[in-house]
């Protein structure tokens, strides 16, 4: 894995979880399957041996996941590999890197109340949103930034959203025209988004 990269594995939940149509946790399963795919692609496939059954792959993954003090998951067998998962708008994403990272995606939806802007954004961000050609898109984009910061720290929401300190680096991305995303890290990075087709045994 290139140490200067953060890889985003993205996929449609419906396509990646055909096997789990009756499950309420399809979003979570999709994120886990994307993590497995990323680990296999990026040189960590030995974690799963020759297993190909998706259920068995998920069991192995879960047995290797632990949670830090504030609940952020990590791989106990490979602490040098960082990952973070998000889902929205029918998509799941998993960020994988050799450095700490946080990712969030959000579907563009109408803002229920302008008060939300003033409650969650600092003055500079409020100005940026209100002066934008499309205030809703700008608000959602900045919301993904804040969520990615929270998930990067792994400490949960300890401060008001509008008072969050900025991380070392972040990059915005769009999965669809109405699906915004942001990934944050402690140091500069290059971003690569991958949209692999689910393998038959991953479905």
pLDDT tops 90 at residue 200? no
Mark 142-177 as b/e (b = at least 16 C-beta within 10 Å): bbbbbbbbbbbbbeeeeeebbebeebebbbebebee
Q: Are 166 and 102 in contact (CB under 8 A)?
A: no
Give the domain range for residue 113. 5-202
- 169 HSE (CA, 13 A, CB side): 14
The pTM of the full predicted model, rounded to 2 decimals, is: 0.92
Pairing relationship of beta strands 82-88 and 73-75 according to DSSP bridges: unpaired
> What pLDDT does 68 receive?
84
Domain count, the chain: 1
pLDDT in tens, 86-132: 999 999 999 999 999 999 999 999 988 889 999 889 999 999 999 99
pLDDT in tens, 163-180: 666 667 999 999 999 999
CATH, residue 43: 3.90.470.20
């Amino acid at each position: 894995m290139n140490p200067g990269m953060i890889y985003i594995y993205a996929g449609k939940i419906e396509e990646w979880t055909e096997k789990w149509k009756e499950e309420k946790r399809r979003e979570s399963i999709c994120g886990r399957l994307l993590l497995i795919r990323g680990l296999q692609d990026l040189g960590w496939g030995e974690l799963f041996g020759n297993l190909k059954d998706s259920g068995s792959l998920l069991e192995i993954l879960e047995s290797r996941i632990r949670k830090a003090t504030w609940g952020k998951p990590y791989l106990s067998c490979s602490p040098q590999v960082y990952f973070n998962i998000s889902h929205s708008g029918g998509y799941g994403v998993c960020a994988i890197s050799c450095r700490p990272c946080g990712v969030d995606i959000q579907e563009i939806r109408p803002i229920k109340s302008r008060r939300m802007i003033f409650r969650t954004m600092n003055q500079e961000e409020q100005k940026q949103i209100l002066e934008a050609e499309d205030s809703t898109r700008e608000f959602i984009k900045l919301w993904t930034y804040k969520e990615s910061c929270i998930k990067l720290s792994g400490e949960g929401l300890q401060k008001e959203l509008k008072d969050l300190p900025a991380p070392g680096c972040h990059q915005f991305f769009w999965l669809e025209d109405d699906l915004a995303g942001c990934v944050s890290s402690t140091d500069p990075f290059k971003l690569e988004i991958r949209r692999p087709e689910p393998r038959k045994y991953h479905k």
